[in-house]
């Protein structure tokens, strides 16, 4: 069969991910599906960079959907179905909102796809697609094939890889506790090493939700990949810095940049979010420990919890300025449709916005408890504006401290410099 796999447009102009908008972040999950499709003619399209070939001659179209890209996914699916091309929808949104997705697809995949995708292809080839394919069993990481990177648009500077899946935390703002693959699983370090060895880029981003849920595993992985001398970055919890052995292993293996979910500077917000692992009075020490091991830190912060009023913005800005971060990303609390927090807000009549492209953490889609939606959006926007000038003034010194890294990878300096000079305008996102 001739199969098209599509990732709908994800990035938006003026959004918070300004460091990534110039980086081709390869959709590894579609590369994995391609690897699970031997004998078929596969085309992979990342709509952030390439146009969707609506007039192409395909026997099957697979589209992955998140909450914030779901309407774009539906538009793509509807266009192919009007031409009589069968469409399969998968991804986070198919797990959280299966009935909605079935209105726009011939079939959906709920859960991971490694154990059901071959059956999907077999049924599609005979014209017998079932409406729903469900993989309730989490995939054993030894069964995950190396993605077909030859079919993916590759960024010349930064490669991507995945060593683990899932996360055992129960943060209320996260979709992971609501999907079948939330259990944390680890890939054999030898397999990660072999895949990483085959990636031509010298800089690599681990796309794992929580690479460090098993710290002994993370240390073993770092020790295994250290001889490859890759420079790598990853999302990391605050708890990493409580383990000096882990920090040392990360440093020796080439970790140069971490994105840390501090989430909030208000203790009641941590309770409301279910983030038991964070300790606000240790944030500055967390950043300092990463710095001591040669890693730059970008902090994530969320606004809009029920205990917060407009004073949260000044408090957060003060903390962020004192933490010695290289950058901060500010998010508006966004309830993923199909999750408990979404259902709670729906019951309380507090949902204000239903357009799914507004569910990308940049818009107030619900009525906050102690301020207006407008105050929430304006507060985040104005805080971004002030921090933009703060981080830009600090940038030359921060770059100078990392001079050896940028001398080895001058194009990385270009990405960082442009991002630091790009204002975030979430209200236009």
Would you list the domain boundaries of the chain? 2-135, 156-428
Least confident interval from 84-88, 115-119, 176-180, 234-238: 176-180
Task: Please give the helix or strand (H or E) that residue 235 lies within, else none.
Answer: strand 231-236
Domain 2-135: give its CATH superfamily.
Cobalamin-binding domain (3.40.50.280)
pLDDT at 91: 96
pLDDT, the chain, mean: 93
- Would you state the structure tokens that stand for residue 78, as one six-digit string? 């509807």
Helix, strand, coil: what percent of the chain each, to 5? Answer: 40, 15, 40
- 172 pLDDT band, cuts 50/70/90, is confident
pLDDT at 25: 83
pLDDT at 411: 83
- Looking at domain 156-428, its CATH architecture is Alpha-Beta Horseshoe (3.80)
How far does Cα 406 stand from its chain's mean position?
25
pLDDT at 427: 58
* CA–CA distance, 114 with 395 (Å, rounded to integer): 43
Higher confidence at residue 407 or residue 289?
A: 289
Task: Name, in order, each residue with C-beta under 8 angstroms of 220's C-beta and a sequence gap of 6 or more.
Answer: 189
**Contact criterion met (CB below 8 Å) for 317 and 330:** no
pLDDT at 20: 66
Q: Of 10, 46, 11, whose CA–CA distance to 28 is shortest? A: 46
CA atoms within 13 A on the CB side of 37: 28
Residue 114, SS3? coil
pLDDT 10s digits, 356-372: 989 989 899 999 999 99
pLDDT 10s digits, 245-267: 999 999 999 999 999 999 999 99
> CA triplet 422, 423, 429: central angle to 5 degrees?
110
**Contact criterion met (CB below 8 Å) for 399 and 406:** yes
- 170 pLDDT band, cuts 50/70/90, is confident
Whole-model pTM? 0.93
């Amino acid at each position: 069969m001739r199969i098209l796999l599509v990732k709908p447009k994800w990035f938006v102009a003026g959004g918070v991910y300004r460091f990534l908008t110039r980086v081709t972040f390869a959709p590894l999950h579609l590369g994995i599906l391609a690897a699970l499709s031997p004998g078929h003619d596969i085309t992979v399209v990342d709509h952030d960079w390439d146009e969707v070939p609506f007039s192409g001659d395909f026997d099957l179209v697979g589209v992955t959907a998140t909450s914030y890209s779901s309407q774009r996914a539906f538009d793509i699916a509807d266009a192919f179905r009007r031409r009589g091309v069968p469409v399969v929808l998968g991804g986070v949104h198919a797990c959280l909102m299966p009935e909605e997705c079935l209105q726009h697809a011939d079939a959906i995949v709920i859960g991971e796809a490694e154990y059901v995708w071959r059956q999907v292809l077999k049924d599609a080839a005979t014209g017998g697609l079932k409406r729903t394919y469900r993989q309730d069993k989490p995939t054993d990481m030894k069964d995950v094939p190396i993605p077909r990177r030859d079919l993916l648009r590759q960024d010349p500077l930064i490669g991507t890889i995945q060593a683990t899946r899932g996360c055992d935390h129960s943060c209320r703002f996260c979709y992971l506790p609501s999907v079948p693959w939330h259990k944390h699983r680890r890939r054999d370090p030898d397999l990660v090493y072999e895949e990483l060895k085959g990636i031509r880029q010298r800089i690599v981003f681990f796309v794992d939700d929580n690479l460090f849920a098993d710290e002994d595993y993370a240390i073993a992985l770092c020790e295994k990949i250290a001889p490859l001398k890759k420079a790598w970055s990853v999302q990391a919890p605050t708890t990493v810095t409580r383990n000096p052995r882990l920090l040392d292993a990360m440093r020796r293996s080439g970790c140069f940049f971490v994105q840390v979910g501090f989430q909030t500077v208000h203790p009641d917000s941590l309770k409301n979010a279910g983030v038991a692992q964070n300790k606000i009075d240790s944030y500055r020490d967390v950043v300092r420990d990463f710095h001591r091991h040669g890693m730059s830190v970008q902090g994530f912060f969320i606004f809009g919890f029920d205990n917060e009023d407009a004073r949260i913005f000044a408090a957060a800005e003060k903390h962020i300025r004192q933490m010695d971060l290289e950058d901060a990303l500010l998010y508006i609390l966004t309830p993923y449709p199909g999750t408990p927090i979404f259902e709670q807000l729906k019951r309380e009549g507090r949902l204000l916005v239903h357009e799914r492209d507004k569910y990308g953490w940049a818009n107030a889609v619900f009525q906050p408890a102690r301020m207006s939606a407008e105050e929430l959006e304006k507060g985040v926007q104005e805080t971004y504006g002030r921090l933009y000038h703060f981080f830009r003034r600090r940038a030359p010194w921060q770059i100078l401290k990392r001079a050896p890294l940028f001398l080895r990878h001058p194009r990385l300096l270009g990405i960082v410099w442009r991002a630091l000079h790009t204002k975030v305008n979430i209200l236009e996102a």
